[in-house]
Amino acid sequence: MKRILFIIYVLLMGTNQMYGQQNNPQPLEYRGLVELFNDWRDFENPPRLNGAPDYTADRFKKDQTAFKDLQNRLTQIA
């Protein structure tokens, strides 16, 4: 009998914790950080040059504005 009550207790506690997590929205800073991370991953997936990632100086000059935008967004979050 004690085993059955213990199992029911554990199941109810697990269900209670599951609902508590769903009702806890993420703070805006966290969502902004996740969006920034995804944008950074897109930015850091460089175009290809002869089949290899293009890390040339010309590519960095072209992407300097986008990099500064990402950097400013990170500064605003922190």
Contact 35, 73 (CB under 8 A): no
Phi/psi class of residue 45: alpha, beta or left (left: φ > 0; alpha: ψ in -120 to 50)? beta
- How buried is residue 68: exposed, middle or buried, by Cβ count under 10 Å (0-12/13-18/19+)? exposed
Using one digit for the tens of pLDDT, what is the confidence trace for 1-14? 778 777 777 777 76
Contact 70, 36 (CB under 8 A): yes
Using one digit for the tens of pLDDT, what is the confidence trace for 13-56? 766 555 555 566 677 788 889 999 999 999 988 889 999 999 89
Per DSSP, the three-state class of 46 is coil
Total domains in the fold of the chain: 1
What is the structure's pLDDT at 13?
A: 74
What is the structure's pLDDT at 11?
A: 76
User: pLDDT grade, residue 70 (50/70/90)?
Assistant: very high
Closest to 74 in 3D by CA, of 32, 26, 27: 32
Give the domain extent around 67.
Answer: 2-77
What is the structure's pLDDT at 12?
A: 75
